[in-house]
């Protein structure tokens, strides 16, 4: 309070002084004009010896007047400087409050008011405003692999590229770590201009960025929302609604493969709401035990024997019923819960599998994200020790898409799994782009041919050449092969002719929960405490029992 008083006093003091200085200056000018005008020539003539000296008092008064004028002029200059300095300080403060120091873009706080302002201007000229939400696709990876300094450089470079594309009236704000918002006015009949702009951003960003003698590549996903959309006028804050909608559309672009743009559509909002419900459902469902393992039979195609099971996760959601892993695994990956979820499923599966015939194996799928965890092999070992399940009966399935990730990290995890006696197979083979070099250099134990190729075998116009080629590749690399997705006896027969394979598919039954699996094994006398008997194909009749 005291400080504020002091400042106020200081300000008042200087204002008072300024008023006095102004008064003195005006008075001196009036005096100078009044007396100096007639007296100055006399004084000058007297100094030159051309006339008599004017009245001394008047001369002194004029000289004093001149001194006052000089004083007033100096004060004026000082004031001018002070005002300029204050303006600079205010400008700096505004900049700090409104501008992102790293990229020079507007910041989160100033972005929305700037969009509102742009909209006001656009409305006057009967134009619409388009808002673009731009999010980097791999920023976390750039930061993790190259450090935050490199991350900062990438952000600065990308913002520069986008700014270069912006028309004069457009604006750009950085509203999050790697999120930018652009806004620009456009004629409602020229929607294609907006698409062009989005496409240009995507292209410009994708060019390699060179910094610190390194080259980094990045892509962006873009969402677009405009004031031309329905219901937009009713929203409380137009800018915030536009940003929110563009964000939803951007999220859609991410979900649909990234490095692309999407226009906002109203049903996207419902999808997002559903997705949020699923996210919170997963968070609640893990500790509540809603995620359960199902088991799909794996058969030796030559002998027809049941040789093991693949564990396939299911979510028994109280709200939506049984949900497929294809729905919840990607979400669990996005919200960083995949390791927790996977551990809880594997723990249950190992407990279930302990009751099975010791000749049966258990395969489990793992997410590429788990391969980034340097402790993954240790965690798995811990689960094995905890359950007492032998490592050599466990098989880990890694999808082919994992091989695009850091191949060195994949190799070291695969090697440490193998050192523990765990087998590793390459799942969905044929759907990714693994090179022969990768196949040879990674110590896999098995290839699993993706079901899309297997289904081709007997489809009309389809052909079995690809599957045959994959089987021979497996032979060449000395890797046993499993064919997935066997749905019909015709496919089974075709596969049998190709050599010694394992297989799985709905022909043998749908995946079943732990109880149904135990019952199936009891019928086949293949439970751990049963007397070991040769296993036979379990194709009928229990295979028709509905899972769950
Ligand atoms: P996947 O590992 O390739 O598993 C095979 C999928 O094909 C399973 O789908 C299975 O039900 C289905 N399938 C099996 N036989 C047939 C058939 O004859 N015809 C057809 N049309 N489909 C068949 P599901 O259970 O929906 O699992 C889908 C994918 O989800 C799995 O593909 C696997 O990649 C992933 N997944 C499942 N459980 C887990 C898990 O615990 N962790 C992780 N990370 N991923 C999992
Ligand atoms: Mg699998
Ligand atoms: Mg598969």
Q: In angstroms, what is the span from residue 366 Cα to ligand 2's centroid?
A: 8
Is any atom of ligand 1 closer than 6 Å to the C-beta of 511? Answer: yes
Measured at the alpha carbon of residue 411, what is the angle toward residues 409 and 415, in degrees to the nearest 5?
Answer: 120
31 vs 477: which has the higher pLDDT: 477
Going by pLDDT thresholds of 50, 70 and 90, the confidence category of residue 313 is very high
Size (the chain), residues? 548
Q: Indicate whether this model's pTM tops 0.95.
A: no
Question: One fold for both 106-264 and 292-523?
Answer: no
Find tokens 């536009």 and name the residue: 242
Task: Give nearest CA residue, ligand 1 atom 8.
Answer: 312
Per the CB < 8 A criterion, the answer to whether 167 and 176 are in contact is no
Interatomic CA distance for residues 345 and 368, integer angstroms: 16
Burial class, 385, CB count within 10 angstroms (exposed 0-12 / middle 13-18 / buried 19+)? exposed
Domain positions in the chain are: 2-97, 106-264, 292-523
What is the spatial distance between Cα 53 and Cα 72, in angstroms, rounded to a whole number?
28
> pLDDT tens-digit profile of 68-84?
888 878 888 888 899 99
Cβ(138) – ligand 1 distance below 6 Å = no
Which is nearest to 165 in space by CA: 122, 194, 208?
194
Alpha-carbon distance 442 to 412, whole Å?
9
Atom of ligand 1 nearest to the CA of 333: 44
pLDDT-derived band at 548 (thresholds 50, 70, 90) equals: very low
Taking Cα atoms as reference points, which of 272, 353, 404 lies closest to residue 521?
353
Average pLDDT over residues 320-338: 96
Grade residue 233 by pLDDT with cuts at 50, 70 and 90. low
Render pLDDT for 114-144 as a digit per residue (tens, 0 to 9): 999 999 999 999 999 999 999 999 899 899 8
Cross-strand pairs, 429: 449
| CATH superfamily, domain at 106-264 | Reverse transcriptase/Diguanylate cyclase domain (3.30.70.270)
List, in order, residues 6 or more apart from 489 with CB less than 8 Å away.
Answer: 507
Fold of 292-523: TIM Barrel (3.20.20)
Give the pLDDT band (50/70/90) at residue 404.
confident
CA of 544 to the centre of ligand 1 (A): 18
Q: Which of 334, 365, 504 has most ligand 1 atoms within 8 Å of its beta carbon, as the pocket-test mutant?
A: 365
């Amino acid at each position: 309070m005291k400080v504020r008083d002091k400042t106020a006093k200081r300000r008042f003091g200087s204002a008072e002084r300024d008023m006095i200085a102004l008064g003195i200056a005006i008075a001196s000018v009036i005096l100078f004009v009044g007396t100096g005008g007639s007296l100055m020539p006399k004084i000058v003539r007297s100094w030159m010896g051309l006339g008599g000296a004017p009245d001394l008092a008047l001369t002194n008064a004029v000289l004093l007047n001149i001194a006052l004028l000089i004083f007033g002029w100096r004060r004026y200059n000082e004031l001018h400087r002070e005002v300029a300095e204050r303006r600079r300080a205010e400008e700096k403060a505004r900049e700090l409050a409104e501008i992102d120091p790293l990229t020079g873009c507007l910041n989160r706080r100033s972005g929305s008011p700037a969009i509102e302002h742009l909209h006001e201007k656009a409305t006057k000229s009967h134009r619409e405003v388009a808002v673009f939400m731009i999010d980097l696709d791999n920023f976390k990876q750039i930061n993790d692999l190259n450090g935050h300094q490199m991350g900062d450089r990438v952000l600065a470079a990308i913002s520069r590229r986008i700014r270069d594309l912006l028309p004069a009236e457009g604006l750009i704000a950085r509203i999050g770590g790697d999120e930018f918002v652009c806004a620009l006015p456009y004629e409602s009949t020229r929607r294609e201009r907006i698409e062009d702009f989005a496409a240009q951003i995507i292209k410009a960003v994708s060019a390699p960025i060179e910094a610190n003698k390194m080259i980094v590549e990045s892509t962006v996903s873009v969402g677009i929302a405009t004031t031309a959309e329905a219901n937009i006028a009713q929203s409380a804050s137009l800018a915030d609604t536009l940003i929110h909608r563009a964000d939803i559309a951007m999220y859609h672009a991410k979900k649909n493969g990234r490095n692309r743009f999407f226009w906002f559509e109203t049903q996207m909002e419902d999808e997002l709401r559903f997705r949020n419900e699923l996210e919170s459902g997963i968070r609640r469902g893990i500790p509540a035990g809603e995620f359960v393992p199902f088991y799909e039979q794996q058969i030796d195609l030559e002998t027809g024997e049941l040789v093991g099971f693949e564990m396939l996760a299911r979510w028994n959601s109280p709200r939506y019923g049984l949900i497929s892993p294809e729905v919840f695994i990607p979400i669990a990956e996005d919200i960083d819960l995949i390791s927790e979820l996977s551990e809880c499923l594997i723990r249950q599966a190992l407990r279930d599998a302990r009751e099975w015939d010791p000749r049966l194996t258990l395969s489990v799928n793992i997410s590429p994200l788990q391969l980034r965890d340097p402790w993954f092999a240790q965690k798995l070992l811990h689960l094995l020790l905890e359950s007492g399940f032998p490592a050599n009966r466990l098989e880990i399935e890694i999808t082919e898409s994992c091989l695009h990730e850091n191949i060195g990290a994949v190799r070291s995890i695969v090697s440490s799994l193998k050192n523990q006696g765990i087998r590793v197979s390459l799942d969905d083979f044929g759907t990714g782009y693994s090179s022969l070099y990768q196949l040879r250099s990674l110590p896999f134990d098995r290839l699993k041919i993706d079901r899309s190729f297997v289904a081709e075998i007997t489809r009309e116009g389809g052909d079995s050449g690809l599957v045959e080629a994959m089987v021979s590749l497996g032979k060449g690399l000395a890797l046993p092969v499993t064919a997935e997705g066997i749905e019909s006896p015709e496919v089974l027969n075709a596969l049998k002719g190709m050599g010694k394979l394992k297989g799985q598919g709905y022909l043998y039954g749908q995946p079943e929960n732990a109880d149904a699996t135990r019952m199936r094994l009891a019928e086949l006398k293949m439970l751990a405490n049963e007397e070991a008997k040769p296993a036979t194909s379990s194709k009928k009749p229990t295979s028709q029992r509905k899972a769950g």
